[in-house]
Amino acid sequence: MNRGAEAETLAESFLTARGLAILVRNYRCRVGEIDLIARDRDTLVFVEVRLRSSSAFGGAGASITAAKRRRLERAARHYLGYIGGEPPCRFDAILLDALDSKRIEWLVDV
């Protein structure tokens, strides 16, 4: 398993332990990709998982650029069209600087 997939698995376990239900992993469409799509009670949550082992360029959070945010938004709109509805939604980020569940930073509603 590659490091990105390992990070997504850690994020999935982390979120599940906190009561979120994972609906889709690695949703891909022509406009982008969403790492995890989850449900937090009545809210649909689009989750970006970022692993950066070095903070040389600002770390995991800084790696979510404006262009990446636009692609995430387009992919989320595509998914909403696919499911045929628009429930309450939010975007979360799971940031890791190592493959260690104790070092996860969860940013809610970014």
Nearest to 62 by CA among 100, 35, 90, 93: 93
* DSSP-assigned letter for residue 20: P
d(CA 65, CA 99): 22
Return per-residue pLDDT of the chain as tens, 110 residues.
688 888 999 999 999 999 999 999 999 999 999 999 999 999 999 999 988 754 544 455 555 678 888 999 999 999 999 999 889 999 999 998 878 778 899 999 98
pLDDT at position 57 is 45
pLDDT at position 62 is 54
Domains of the chain: 3-107 (3.40.1350.10)
pLDDT at position 2 is 85
> Residue 31, CB half-sphere, CA atoms under 13 Å: how many?
12
Rg of the chain taking only CA atoms, in angstroms: 13
